[in-house]
């Protein structure tokens, strides 16, 4: 009887291989399985986890959804609605659209936060160029100018003037 050779690309993977391929720790892979994010995991006769070849693509999707901040419950729901059934597409799409809106909101916040950090860097560059230790040591008119610059850049909320 001839033995069938299964190409390496179609062989089941062990947990260590999947960990190395995805960058996820073995503990994280086990946790993903426990909470229902990896339903594709099978067990060999010796009890070891065996991941089918298409598991890597699936895990990368789960990683992407989690990196966007999608809650585990939503990722699980997205997975449970899987299977390629047309009836589930609208609900899966709604989950993704909701996540897209949240990502866009976070991107706006991150751009604003980046502007604040960049303005602070410029403040320190100016302090270094002037040989000053701390912005608290600046004369009042310079503090007001720096605040005005930050206000114009949209990186500082309006605050009352300092009391003398």
Q: pLDDT-based confidence at 157, cuts 50/70/90?
A: low
CB half-sphere exposure, 18, CA atoms < 13 A: 30
Q: Which of 11, 12, 29 is nearest to 20 (CA)?
A: 29
Residues forming CATH 1.10.1660.10 domain(s) in the chain: 10-69
Helix (H) or strand (E) holding 42: strand 42-43
pLDDT at 155: 59
Instruction: List beta partners, residue 49.
Output: 43
What letter would DSSP give residue 11?
S
Give per-residue pLDDT as tens, 11-20.
899 999 999 9
pTM metric for this prediction: 0.67
From residue 68, alpha-carbon distances to 89, 102, 103, 115 in Å are 20, 9, 7, 21
What letter would DSSP give residue 63?
H
Q: What is the mean predicted confidence (pLDDT) over 134-147?
A: 67
**d(Cα 106, Cα 33) in Å, to the nearest integer?**
28
Lowest mean pLDDT among 15-19, 48-52, 121-125: 121-125
CATH topology of domain 10-69: Multidrug-efflux Transporter Regulator; Chain: A; Domain 2 (1.10.1660)
Q: Which of 75, 70, 74 is nearest to 58 (CA)?
A: 75
In the predicted structure, residue 141 carries a pLDDT above the cut 80:
no
Q: Which two tokens stand for residue 120?
A: 């602070």
The answer to whether the beta carbons of residues 49 and 15 sit under 8 Å apart is yes
């Amino acid at each position: 009887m001839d033995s069938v050779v299964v190409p390496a690309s179609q062989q089941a993977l062990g947990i260590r291989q999947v960990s190395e391929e995805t960058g996820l720790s073995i503990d994280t892979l086990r946790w993903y399985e426990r909470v229902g994010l990896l339903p594709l995991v099978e067990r060999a006769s010796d009890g070891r986890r065996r991941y089918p070849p298409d598991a890597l693509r699936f895990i990368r999707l789960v990683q992407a959804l989690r990196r966007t901040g999608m809650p585990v419950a939503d990722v699980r729901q997205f997975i449970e609605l899987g299977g390629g059934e047309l009836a589930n597409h609208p609900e899966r799409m709604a989950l993704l659209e909701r996540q897209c809106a949240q990502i866009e909101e976070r991107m706006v916040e991150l751009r604003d936060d980046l502007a604040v950090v960049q303005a602070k860097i410029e403040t320190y560059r100016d302090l270094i160029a002037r040989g000053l230790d701390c912005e608290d040591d600046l004369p009042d008119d310079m503090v007001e100018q720096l605040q005005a610059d930050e206000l114009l850049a949209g990186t500082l909320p309006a605050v009352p003037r300092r009391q003398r």
